[in-house]
A and B are shown apart, each in its own frame.
Chain A
Amino acid sequence: MHAIQQQYWAVREYLSPVLKESKFKEHGRITPEEFVAAGDFLVYKFPVWTWEKGDPTKARDYLPADKQYLLTRGVPCLRRATSLAYTDADEDAERLLSFGDSSATGSEADEWVETHAGRKPSHDAANPGTIDDIPDLDGDDHPAGGAGVGGVTAGMGNISLGGGAAVAETPDLDDIPDMEEEGLEEGDEATAVAPKAAPAVIDASNIEVAGGNLLQVRTYDVMITYDKYYQTPRIWLIGYDENGTPLTPPQIFQDISADHAFKTVTIEPFPHSASLQAASVHPCKHASVMKKVIERMNSGMIEEQLAQQRKSGSPVLKDTKPSSSSTVKKWPFSRKASGSGKGEADEEEIEGMRVDFYLVVFLKFIASIVPTIEVDSTTSF
């Protein structure tokens, strides 16, 4: 039962203590201070991102009042993720991505698999057909509660997002009052004709997925909040179609890779607004994924920096803060590197991944969940 779950989550988040001690390398979680530091870095480096205050009554006191969440608007999304449907023929397209130097130690099992490398969207996927209902996991087998709860549950099931009801609720063009006004304006020779977009089929069950050269450019507003319970950032999406009309949940799910669409991505009330609803990737797995990525990047970075140090022939500088001009890539770290498994004594003072980079890495991870939304403007890294 989604509503009760949401209440439960809200209470749980309220009650859970604020993480005080930095743990980002041990288990991928960060403190609010580190979230702010990483956010500052992101905003500085990529000015498309800005800090937002949000609704003052919803402000979280463990974050600065003017740095409640991060926002970027109008992120383009050229294709539907459903048009990247995965088939056996694509197996060759997988490639292992390792963060940092390939000579880094670490078990191969931790390699990051990128599928669909360099794939063209398949034209067979031009019509993905009906989007399945979102499985209502709690709908049928809710153990507790008497008939009353059951009744509400059933009612909830009927109006659950993406279900048959939602299809009926999507904008129906017949509903728009027929009020085309012929005489309102004469034709104007100096008005550029907008490039004809794809026929606007709004029926959610039959949304045309752009294939080939016809593109439906959707845009997304992307927000990153700090989730106190999971102690990780959390990402939120509000989508618009090419006409600037808000997307419905089934339409948003077209832009989310099939592995996540109906499992970890849900429509939730946005925590910094009284009324706004947004699609969100549930953060329960963020920490463990981030830990893996950070470990790999970290050990890669350390290798690289060690090599650089050896090349320059300088002695290992103990107890010295790395000077900012000494290396091209600065990854100073202040904590003991974990997981690299060798030469701990030396590495303690060598640079590693800094927590500032957390959100940059986080966006790369999110880009794998929403492959066609260009959230990752950080590719220059």
Chain B
Amino acid sequence: MPIVQFAPFASLVQPSFWHELTSLKVDVLRLSDDAIPVIATYTTGRSVKDRETGQEIVLGCNVTVGAESFRKGHQRPSAGAVVAQGTVKNFNTIEEFKSADKSSLFNHEADIIWESILRNQDTSLLTRFLLISYADLKKYKYYYWFAFPAFAAKPAWEIDDRGWVSAEEAFSQDALNGIYTQLRQSQKHASFFLISDKNQVLGVDKFESETQATIAFIDPSAATNNPGWPLRNLLAYLRALYPQKTSSLRVICWRDNVSENSPSTGAWKSRFGVLSAGASVESTSRLTAVGWEKNMQGKLAPRVADLAPMMDPASRLADQAV
């Protein structure tokens, strides 16, 4: 049986995020390089039809940060989006940025997630991210590196031979419409949920009492055969808490944007699959985590955002004159 491969998150940093970080750095943080809590948002995976070739082009598995990421209590994501929490650690010099102990920063974040699984049984921290950065304020250059820790199951999850199929093959139209309506009316914007055998949307904490539940998550991936990154930690969560019940799991990757007016205009985009876990050693020690974002060349290295070309020449002159 093929191994399930997950589409990694791709970060998208709005310029307003860097502007906000700059003013925070200048006015509030100054020389402090303490980690600051921020939030990011992601939506269901999107694809766009190329008008010239008729091909469906899959857009990236984006997770977005912007100016509002810094605002405390910002819990109103835009329509159809869900929130991921994370931290920014902004270093004062490029040398510190380079020589930072990335493994320990990363492991710290992974520990938080693991803790939330075992101790608090909390799903809200499952999708967590770390952003390390160095802001060259004079040149409007921002060096940054995202990490999205995910626990690597050993042995890896496998999918049965049918592979990922359209959700329509596993659920009736009525059932999907019902789920869609419940998600649309829900105020919580949950990233993870369960679908009971009666097609009710439930919290993940009901997993133990439900006999035939399908696990579901808002899937930022639009690739046909790759579920999005958040599923990895959901699987790790369930495996760690309910080892007896998780040798085989029904999964639905929810990809139909509930902020749009009607779902029935096109075919359902959500995917369905049955996953199975290999026999695993029962232990509560933390699994190893992976998830540093690769750069444009596919290497494990930081990225740089250069906002200088977009800056107004006049204001740049004025800034330099000070």
Q: Are A171 and B306 in contact (CB under 8 A)?
A: yes
Q: List 10 A-B contacts (CB under 8 A).
A: A6-B314, A76-B59, A177-B94, A182-B300, A184-B103, A185-B290, A192-B7, A194-B8, A276-B19, A277-B311
Stretch from A103-111, A241-249, A315-323, A352-360 forming part of the interface with B: A241-249
CA distance A186 to B16 in the complex (A): 34
* Cβ-based interface call for B305 (8 A): yes
List of B residues within 8 angstroms of A366 by Cβ: none
List of A residues within 8 angstroms of B94 by Cβ: 177
Q: What is the distance, in angstroms, from B292's C-beta to the closest C-beta of chain A?
A: 6
* Cβ-based interface call for A221 (8 A): yes
Q: CB within 8 A of A156: which of B152, B301, B309, B313? A: B313
Q: CB within 8 A of B14: which of A6, A78, A204, A238? A: A238
Chain B positions 183-208 with a Cβ under 8 Å from a chain A Cβ? none
* Cβ-based interface call for B259 (8 A): yes
Report A264-291 CB contacts with B as 1/0, cut-off 8 Å: 0001110001111110000000000000
CA distance A2 to B316 in the complex (A): 13
CA distance A219 to B294 in the complex (A): 19
CA distance A179 to B11 in the complex (A): 19
Q: Are B97 and A190 in contact (CB under 8 A)?
A: no
List of B residues within 8 angstroms of A274 by Cβ: 19, 23
Q: Are B15 and A217 in contact (CB under 8 A)?
A: no
List of B residues within 8 angstroms of A184 by Cβ: 102-103, 292, 300
Stretch from A16-24, A158-166, A254-262, A305-313 forming part of the interface with B: A158-166
Number of residues from A at the complex interface, CB < 8 A: 70
* Cβ-based interface call for A88 (8 A): no
Q: Are A73 and B64 in contact (CB under 8 A)?
A: yes
Q: Nearest CB to that of B260 among chain A residues?
A: A47
Q: CB within 8 A of B5: which of A191, A269, A277, A278? A: A191
Q: What is the distance, in angstroms, from A248's C-beta to the closest C-beta of chain B?
A: 4
Q: What is the distance, in angstroms, from A52's C-beta to the closest C-beta of chain B?
A: 9
* Cβ-based interface call for B4 (8 A): yes
* Cβ-based interface call for B163 (8 A): no
Q: Given A74-B62, A185-B292, A245 and B301 touching (CB < 8 A)?
A: no
B residues whose Cβ falls under 8 Å from a Cβ of A = 3-8, 10-16, 19, 22-23, 46, 48, 50, 52-53, 57-60, 62, 64, 67, 78-79, 94, 97-98, 102-103, 141, 143, 152-153, 156-157, 223, 226, 232, 259-261, 290-292, 294-317
Q: Are A246 and B143 in contact (CB under 8 A)?
A: no
Q: Given A177-B97, A215-B57, A190 and B232 touching (CB < 8 A)?
A: yes
Q: Nearest CB to that of B226 among chain A residues?
A: A192
Q: Are A374 and B259 in contact (CB under 8 A)?
A: no
Report A166-192 CB contacts with B as 1/0, cut-off 8 Å: 100111000111111110111011111
Q: Are B152 and A188 in contact (CB under 8 A)?
A: yes
CA distance A310 to B62 in the complex (A): 53
Q: Are B59 and A176 in contact (CB under 8 A)?
A: no
Q: Given A2-B313, A2-B314, A246-B15, A74 and B59 touching (CB < 8 A)?
A: yes
List of A residues within 8 angstroms of B312 by Cβ: 3, 6, 267-269, 277
* Cβ-based interface call for A200 (8 A): yes
Q: Are B296 and A243 in contact (CB under 8 A)?
A: yes
List of B residues within 8 angstroms of A185 by Cβ: 290-292, 300
List of A residues within 8 angstroms of B310 by Cβ: 246, 248-249, 267, 277-278
* Cβ-based interface call for A39 (8 A): no
Q: CB within 8 A of B79: which of A50, A276, A278? A: A50
Q: Are B79 and A244 in contact (CB under 8 A)?
A: no
Q: Given A179-B301, A192-B5, A47 and B259 touching (CB < 8 A)?
A: yes
List of A residues within 8 angstroms of B259 by Cβ: 47
Q: Are A244 and B13 in contact (CB under 8 A)?
A: yes
Q: Given A177-B143, A181-B300, A181-B301, A190 and B15 touching (CB < 8 A)?
A: no
List of A residues within 8 angstroms of B16 by Cβ: 273, 275-276
Q: Given A243-B296, A246-B15, A374 and B48 touching (CB < 8 A)?
A: yes
List of A residues within 8 angstroms of B299 by Cβ: 180
CA distance A243 to B103 in the complex (A): 24
CA distance A121 to B52 in the complex (A): 9
Q: CB within 8 A of B317: which of A155, A161, A248, A374? A: A155
List of B residues within 8 angstroms of A2 by Cβ: 313-314
CA distance A204 to B14 in the complex (A): 20
CA distance A177 to B299 in the complex (A): 13
* Cβ-based interface call for A35 (8 A): no
Q: Given A120-B52, A374-B48, A169 and B102 touching (CB < 8 A)?
A: no
Q: Are B313 and A161 in contact (CB under 8 A)?
A: yes
Q: Are B79 and A240 in contact (CB under 8 A)?
A: no
List of B residues within 8 angstroms of A240 by Cβ: 12
Q: Are B10 and A192 in contact (CB under 8 A)?
A: no
Q: Are B301 and A194 in contact (CB under 8 A)?
A: no
- Given A3-B314, A176-B302: 11 more A-B contacts, CB < 8 Å: A73-B78, A76-B46, A176-B295, A177-B97, A181-B102, A191-B5, A200-B296, A242-B60, A244-B11, A249-B310, A276-B16
List of B residues within 8 angstroms of A221 by Cβ: 14
List of B residues within 8 angstroms of A176 by Cβ: 143, 295, 301-304
Q: What is the distance, in angstroms, from A225's C-beta to the closest C-beta of chain B?
A: 15
List of A residues within 8 angstroms of B14 by Cβ: 221, 238
Q: What is the distance, in angstroms, from B209's C-beta to the closest C-beta of chain A?
A: 29
List of A residues within 8 angstroms of B6 by Cβ: 190-192
Q: What is the distance, in angstroms, from A190's C-beta to the closest C-beta of chain B?
A: 5
